[in-house]
Amino acid sequence: MDISWWGFTALAAAAALVGFSKTAVSGANTVSLAVFAAVLPARESTGVLLPILIVGDVVAVLTYRRHAHWPTLWRLFPAVAAGVVAGTVFLLWADDAAVRTSIGAILLLMAGVTIWRRRGGADSTKATPEGKEKGEERGDEKGEEAGVVAGKGGSGASSAGRVTARSYGVLGGFTTMVANAGGPVMSLYLLSAGFRKLGFLGTSAWFFLIVNTSKLPFSVGLGLVDGPSLLLDAALVLFVLPGALIGKACVDRIDQRLFERLVIGATVLGGLQLLLR
């Protein structure tokens, strides 16, 4: 790949932002997605970005592995698998413009739905006894911090919660396969389910490590991951760890309300960037 020094510098900064997003503000890597798509052809950019995301996922799992909520993960995986298959079929015929427009519209729609639900729903900054119990069952030192608000989809007890999980799961699988843009979709689901910071980061870390790793065979089959893309990845992954360390240092200084606003703001920004390119 023929990349200028300015282009490589932009990709390196975007790789560092991937690390930051994995340990601090999930969804912020939609900016990285836009940078990669600006420097590289859109389809090729997804293949280059995927291994970098996986490295960031490994760092995030090592950092927050104790805070994952596995019942939520198992509930999501079947729907995500369906979305990944649908995304693979879409990539067989879609051009770059169709990919950008579809993903941008989905991100903005999901952000709008989440804002609407939060304005009329419960305050997710208040952990319930059920949330505390879930956190304690996972061995968290702060059960309340990692808890899930009851009745918001985290418990999965209601049929509405199951439908919500499946809907977000399919959209998350589709967007992550098509443009590595599943982060904002799943971030919005975890926020709507009432996850607080540590539970949010731990659950999303395991989710994306598993999902992104499972995408590799599909991406190789589509020709998105090949020798030249992996050579570029070998240089860019060096910037992921510093970004992750900065994110880890910052996350404890971000309160819950600001955390949620940053996640939603990053989602809107990413959607607008994709639509306006």
Residue pLDDT, tens place only, 20-51: 989 887 767 777 887 888 888 877 888 999 99
pLDDT(127) > 70: no
Q: Whole-number mean pLDDT of the chain?
A: 79
11 near 240, Cβ under 8 Å?
A: no
Using the predicted structure, report yes or no on whether residue 147 has a pLDDT greater than 70: no
Q: What total of structural domains would you count in the chain?
A: 1
Question: Does 111 score more than 60 pLDDT?
Answer: yes
Dihedral sign of CA atoms 36, 195, 116, 178 in order: positive
Range of the domain at 76: 5-276
pLDDT at 131: 45
Phi-psi region of 139 (alpha: psi -120 to 50; beta: other; left: phi over 0): left
DSSP state of 237: G
pTM over 0.85: no
Instruction: Give which of 179, 163, 181 is closest to 76, Cα–Cα.
Output: 163
Least confident of 5-9, 195-199, 216-220, 271-275: 271-275
What is the arithmetic mean of pLDDT over 49-67?
94
pLDDT for 59 equals 95
